[in-house]
Amino acid sequence: DSGVTQTPKHLITATGQRVTLRCSPRSGDLSVYWYQQSLDQGLQFLIQYYNGEERAKGNILERFSAQQFPDLHSELNLSSLELGDSALYFCASSPEYQETQYFGPGTRLLVL
Amino acid sequence: AQTVTQSQPEMSVQEAETVTLSCTYDTSESDYYLFWYKQPPSRQMILVIRQEAYKQQNATENRFSVNFQKAAKSFSLKISDSQLGDAAMYFCAYWAGTASKLTFGTGTRLQVTL
């Protein structure tokens, strides 16, 4: 158990819908990262937040957005969902200025 | 841009034997970190081992060790005394402070046979 929690574990929804994935980092970790793992794209970095502020952005679609709240939990919002958004979404966290990231169990999203 | 290459899509090892998974990377940075993550069928990403580029000594964690060749930009993972529970996808990953994200290779699926 890495100490990073993600909810829900599974999500099934329809095209065009909007979903929110939630992540709670390890106690004391200020950074939260979101990654997408799909069959054709592998593990891709989406976005990083540090202590409530966006720190780095990767291959995140405009239909996706994220935020980190004062209690340091983070949410990833996916809207206008397409079939290709079906993937495993990971959240990871790390302490301040640390390179080692600890991953949550992931949320499996299936868009039908 | 940094890239990580794992050229072995699949590997197989017999229980109790030793196996080495390969990873090469490309970077212009001098200070960076390299990682091996394990992803078992549960899909959880588990940190196996990490290596700081400025350290010449190869990292070791129990049955897992790395062979880090900085000049060759090579970072292989050796698993000794393989166990059935080692069967998983193994991802090599790179991190440099300038990017803050992890860059992953495409993974190597390891089978452990009796």
Q: What confidence tens digit (pLDDT) does each residue in B47-95 have?
A: 999 999 999 899 999 999 999 999 999 999 999 999 999 999 999 999 9
Nearest by CB to residue A48, choosing from B101, B106, B107, is: B101
Contact (CB, 8 A) for A37 and A106: yes
Nearest by CB to residue A55, choosing from B95, B100, B102, is: B100
Is pLDDT above 70 for A97?
no
State residue B38's pLDDT score.
Answer: 97
Helices (H) and strands (E) counted in chain A, each on its own, are 0, 11
Structure-token match 């050229």, residue found: B7
CA–CA gap between residue B107 and residue B88 (Å, rounded): 10
Average the pLDDT over each of A61-75, B79-93, B95-109 and give the range with the smallest value: B95-109
CB-CB neighbors (< 8 A) of B88 in chain A: none
Phi, psi of B15 (to 5 degrees): -55, 135
Q: What confidence tens digit (pLDDT) does each residue in A16-40 have?
A: 999 999 999 999 999 999 999 998 7
Contact (CB, 8 A) for B34 and B26: no
Q: Is pLDDT larger for residue A90 or for residue A59?
A: A90
